[in-house]
Amino acid sequence: MSSTSSIQHTDTRGRIVVIEYRLIQKDLVALFERSGFEVKVLPAAELKVGPFRSMCREWNPDLIISINYSPDLALLATFVRKPYLSWTIDPLPAGRMAVRNGTELASCMVFSHREASVEDFKALEIKDVRPLKLAAPHERRAPVDHTESLKPYTAPVSFVGNSLQGDSAGFVPVLDEHQLERRVPELDAFLQCIFDARMGHSNWCGLTDPAEALPEEFLIYVTAQSERIQCMEAANGRLAHLLRMERVKSLSDAGIQVWGDTGWETAGVTYRGVANHGEELTRIYCASQLNLDIPRLYQRDIITMRVFDVLASGGALLAEECSELLELFTPGEHLFTYADSASLPGRVEELLAEPEKCREVAANGHKLVVEKHTMEHRFQVILDACYERGWLKPL
């Protein structure tokens, strides 16, 4: 049975405001519209009290939705007496994990793709917090059978993703403020030591103590907690960059080809440029004998969007093993896994020698995703929760 069969176009009516966001927002909008709702997409730049109140008076929405929880938006929804729902798919900075005074928490619902974050949201005393994993936008990701269109993207093993070269930029204003910019090599060496010591630990997701993000002699200058938190986030960005570089470079002899930002140009691997997120990305996943998933540092305990995208496209996937991945997929049946950086080159060599096995596992993974893990499935969970709360009414 098709994964879309459970969502039929009905005469259900309701008005939804969705805050514009680069990921999955368009998929949600399309699913609401297909189910008979009117949807207004609001750019984040327009979230000012006066204009927002005027829009709600004139259009009278039934529900406000955002990708990623926003305490300011929750408060705005309270001002206009509308329920607020968020699906948090990214890690949030400390300032976003808060509740503004005056927010009506009983009118908020939070979904979180990271189950560990559910308790963090509950600690804010938000009444309704639920886990909801990411999924495949399978209408945008489906196997491509046209051989000629795949030829330009053929690769033994590929990686599509950002080099994360700029993710440590948060250090710059702090170091400049305290005249520490000349000591950047010292800071780089300090972070390299952390990387060497901790990256071998399975699923280590980065620093959590701001005092650990800087050499001890730097801490006497950087004393403000806000600056230390900024440095911790920058340090984790640097460590994530080192992790990606290490893993991709280790596969240079295997012929890895990389699509992403220009930070890959100096990595000593075959760099293919930027891939658009539409059909080209699907073709890369279909044309590669093996697609590599290297999660960002903060993603090592979750299933990344890349996992769902590759499997929905019918590609063979090699992903870092984590407990959440094993909850939904079986290694060797739906995808392949690797344990750490040290084992990665050998694992790739082994799989490249078994192209038929790769195709068989890719087909199984695609079948499972289409049956159980599409955006349509997750949308139905959201819709049912809104019906349950009485925020939307089916006809």
Q: Which CATH number fits the domain that encloses residue 27?
A: 3.40.50.2000
Tell whether 8 is covered by a domain.
no
Phi and psi torsions of 320, nearest 5°? -65, 135
Residue 158 vs residues 91, 240, 287, 295, 338: alpha-carbon distances, Å: 26, 19, 9, 14, 15
Kindly report the pTM of this predicted structure: 0.89
Report angle CA 294, 300, 304 to the nearest 5 degrees: 65
User: Do 205 and 215 belong together in one domain?
Assistant: yes
User: Based on the domain organization, do 378 and 368 belong to the same domain?
Assistant: no
Residue 47: per-residue pLDDT:
87
Please list, in sequence order, all residues whose beta carbon lies within 8 angstroms of the beta carbon of residue 287, skipping any fewer than 6 positions away: 150, 151, 152, 153, 154, 155
Task: Please check whether residue 68 is in contact with residue 110, taking contact to mean a CB–CB distance below 8 angstroms.
Answer: no
Q: What is the DSSP letter of 327?
A: H
| Same structural domain, 349 and 379 | no
- In a shared domain, residues 153 and 127: no
For 164, list phi and psi in degrees, rounded to 5: 65, 20
What backbone phi and psi angles, to 5 degrees, belong to 131? -75, 145
Q: Which residue has the tokens 């330009």?
A: 152
Report d(CA 393, CA 395) in Å as an integer.
6
- How many other β-carbons are positioned within 10 Å of the β-carbon of residue 25? 17
Answer yes or no: do 159 and 249 share one domain: yes
Per-residue pLDDT of the chain (395 residues; tens, 9 = 90+): 333 434 444 455 799 999 999 889 999 999 999 999 999 999 988 888 999 999 999 999 999 999 999 999 999 999 999 999 999 998 887 788 999 999 999 999 999 999 889 999 999 999 999 999 999 987 788 999 888 999 999 999 999 999 999 999 999 999 999 999 999 999 999 999 999 999 888 778 899 999 999 999 999 999 999 999 999 999 999 999 999 999 999 999 999 999 999 999 988 899 999 998 778 999 999 999 999 999 988 888 899 999 999 999 999 999 999 999 999 999 999 999 999 999 999 999 999 999 999 999 999 999 999 999 999 999 999 999 999 999 998 86
